[in-house]
Amino acid sequence: MTGGAGFVPSHLIDVLIARGCAVVAVDNFVTGSKENVTHLVDHPQFTLVEADVADGLPTHHPALDGRFDAILHMASPASPKDFTTLPIEILRVGSIATLHLLERAVADGARFLMASTSEAYGDPLVHPQVETYWGNVNPVGIRSVYDEAKRFSEASTMAYHRYRGLDAAIVRIFNTYGPRMRPDDGRAIPTFISQALRGEPITVHGNGAQTRSICYVDDLVRGILLLLDSTETGPINCGDEHEMSMKDLAETIVRLTGSASTVTFTSRTADDPEMRRPDLTLARTKLGFAPTVSPEEGLRRTIEDFQRRAV
């Protein structure tokens, strides 16, 4: 798995290891952290390899010799903050790295699962977003490094599937949150929780009417593994349909933390989508997927994790 020391991938690894799989995580720690997999380092089924996958998988590393049954390409900086601080890294991991990994998957006869994103729909003109919608992406905007790299990865994955016989799967992940998120990664939920725990004002972009559907990480992981275990190629949306305004989200976090923080409003970032909600019909019918963790419960667990880590 690429990006194995990241937020979502580390949760995926936990479940794979619990299932008895052997997992090799390749990560350069650009946004991930060794702490996310510290509990696994002595596990006989787990190996952590430090490398930039845009340079190709390291050769002559014992853990990377042999053949993989599955390759999950999860590596990529993913927070809007990263779009301006790591733009070239995002482009490289969503393009050159993808091509290297596709070649390896074909050589191994492995199932290849690519972590795409709801950002592939850009600022959507269709709501909720269904997989057949082609999106509304500004190809030269601030977010384009991420959106277009993921779209390139999708196109590459489909080309290897169509013309090189690759067993492929594409999951379009919608906003996901949970324990192990970086408090300073710039996404709304970790930002709001950190501000609430410090008693600082909660900074909501714009008037806070823009909506997101938020998915608890355990639900997302279950969806990704249902796709991995299936014969579906997708792309398939995965996330939660429950939609919330940013203002409601901020107020819920203030309530759940018992904080005295006030909610304040700042300027919106460029091309920030107005609304985002997955149409989960495909995931439901093809994979039997349905999220089960309510936002209240998921946020409570995430707040507990932030308190435990004292971040």
Q: Using CB under 6 A as the criterion, which residues of the chain lie in contact with ligand NAD when the complex forms?
A: 2-3, 5-9, 26-32, 52-54, 74-78, 89, 93, 97, 115, 117, 173, 175-176
Within 8 A by CB and 6+ apart from 219, the residues are: 240, 291, 292, 293
Shortest Å, Cβ 10 to ligand NAD:
8
Q: Is 133 among the catalytic positions?
A: no
Residue 46: name the closest of 3, 71, 13, 19 by CA: 13
Nearer to ligand NAD, 195 or 237 (CB): 237
Residue 249 or 261: the one with the smaller Cβ distance to ligand NAD is 249
User: For residue 1, which of 66, 46, 38 has the smallest C-alpha distance?
Assistant: 46
Which CB sits closer to ligand NAD, 191 or 259? 191
- Least Å from the CB of residue 192 to ligand NAD: 15
Phi, psi of 164 (to 5 degrees): -120, 10
Instruction: Indicate the residue among 259 and 306 with the shorter CB distance to ligand NAD.
Output: 306
- Give the nearest distance from C-beta 77 to ligand NAD in angstroms: 5
> Minimum distance from CB of 30 to ligand NAD (Å)?
4
The catalytic residue among 146, 160, 177, 216 is: 146
Using left for φ > 0, alpha for ψ between -120 and 50, and beta otherwise, residue 109 falls in left
Closer by beta carbon to ligand NAD, 32 or else 273: 32
Question: Is residue 12 within 8 Å of 74, Cβ to Cβ?
Answer: yes
For β-strands 176-177 and 215-216, DSSP reports them as parallel
Q: How far is the CB of 260 from ligand NAD (least distance, A)?
A: 29
Active site residues: 146
